[in-house]
Amino acid sequence: MVRGKTQMKRIENSTSRQVTFSKRRNGLLKKAYELSVLCDAEVALIVFAPRGKLYEFANPSMQKMLERYQKYSQESDIDNTTKEQDYQHLKREIANMEERIRILESTQRKMMGEDLASCSVKELNQLESQVERGLNHIRARKTKVLVDEIEQLKRKCAEYVDGPVLTSPVLQLGNIQRIEVETQLVMRPPNV
């Protein structure tokens, strides 16, 4: 005999409902027992009948299972609270970072001479000072790089010539050297 699919709705006939409850309750208790034995699982099952009678199954004991459930519930609540706090903290961090990025991008545009219409005279003076300081740093670095390159070229020339590079008097003007060379120019009448 093939059973048809049972519709999931309340059984209206009270006698049929009581019979179905008894059969399904017993099947449910049997399945809980099988699960605990076959899988070595700790199982607790509590069923209240429509008339208020209690049916239960627990392995190892209902008291231990309830204590464990309460402890797990509290830890889960604490974990959820901690996760929510972490989430809120990360959300604030993201908002702060986005604000910092916006400010830095705005400052960069202003340093490049863009979006200056909203700047006050005081802000423009500060920007000018920052740009001048930056330009001074750039010039100092550029000068150092050039001086280092000149010194390196002098050493290479000294090695190439295998002795002193310059034998004539040298005038130094800043970091640039000039070599003075004496020449004699003699003018004679053409041979006719």
Mean pLDDT of 85-89: 89
Q: Going from the N-terminus, what domains does the chain have, and what CATH number goes with each?
A: 14-60 (3.40.1810.10)
**Residue 180: helix, strand or coil by DSSP?**
coil
Helix (H), strand (E) at residue 58: strand 54-59
pLDDT level of residue 23 (50, 70, 90 thresholds): very high
Contact predicate 43/32, CB 8 Å? yes
Residue that wins the pLDDT comparison between 176 and 5: 5
The two three-digit tokens of residue 117, written as one number = 């219409």
Q: What is the pTM of this model?
A: 0.40
Instruction: State residue 2's pLDDT score.
Output: 64
Read off the pLDDT of residues 45-66 as tens digits, 9 standing for 90 and up: 999 998 889 999 998 889 999 9
Read off the pLDDT of residues 129-173 as tens digits, 9 standing for 90 and up: 988 998 999 999 999 999 999 999 998 888 877 655 444 444 444
**Residue 38: helix, strand or coil by DSSP?**
helix
Token match 């190892």: residue? 60
